[in-house]
A and B are shown apart, each in its own frame.
Chain A
Amino acid sequence: EAGVAQSPRYKIIEKRQSVAFWCNPISGHATLYWYQQILGQGPKLLIQFQNNGVVDDSQLPKDRFSAERLKGVDSTLKIQPAKLEDSAVYLCASSLVGRLARADTQYFGPGTRLTVL
């Protein structure tokens, strides 16, 4: 079974530029998560999707970050415009069952390392 796929693996941009990350979850997984992991810290949830609906985006900086999950499968996370403090690893994760699941495991992709200069 294929794992969570993410691309690109690395991205370097100038501040104020825009960037987009792509995630393909494990087949059949209803729930998809985007986490931001700043160097030296644990990951922090940015947004959670259940199928193609948003469950939790309370920590997403909505003035510059946006995310979508069209058709309830793939997802893209966009930053526009980027700031220096956005330099981080962006991790995508998915889990099998949605809101009613109590014990489902989150499986993570390899992440995208973003450097903003």
Chain B
Amino acid sequence: AQTVTQSQPEMSVQEAETVTLSCTYDTSESDYYLFWYKQPPSRQMILVIRQEAYKQQNATENRFSVNFQKAAKSFSLKISDSQLGDAAMYFCAYRSGFQGAQKLVFGQGTRLTINP
């Protein structure tokens, strides 16, 4: 079974600075997808960024980018120019590429605080 581990329960960063959230995963599959979701106090999970395992290029979405190291099974999220609205729980998630196996396997989450 696949597992996802986030080793940083909490992180904090000064507004406008850069922060990196860590995620490692364990799988024997070669085809899969990785995601970062943001969960603000409203509880709604919001997709931040996604990465297909077959793509070597790291995904980027505006101020959010990932460092995907397939051999090391590492998938970190970098947030540049941090804003107060970035404060939330961040979850790393894995999804198998096997057709029909679409459930997301989540890590424990990292609580990100932005200091003004």
Residues of A with Cβ closer than 8 Å to B? 31, 33, 35, 40-45, 48, 55-56, 89, 91, 93, 95, 99-111, 113
Contacts and interface: CB of A to CB of B under 8 A. Distances in A.
A99 B103 contact: no
A56 B103 contact: yes
A42 B91 contact: yes
Interface residues of B, number: 24
Interface string B92-112: 010001011111101111000
For the complex, would chain B's binding face be called helix, strand, loop or mixed by DSSP majority? loop
A93 to B, nearest CB: 7
Contact of A43 (B42, B45, B97): B45
A108 B44 contact: yes
A48 B52 contact: no
B66 interface: no
Given A43-B106, A99-B100, A103-B52, 16 more contacts: A33-B103, A42-B107, A43-B45, A44-B106, A48-B102, A93-B45, A99-B102, A100-B99, A102-B97, A102-B99, A105-B50, A106-B47, A106-B102, A107-B47, A110-B42, A113-B43
A42 B44 contact: no
B42 to A, nearest CB: 6
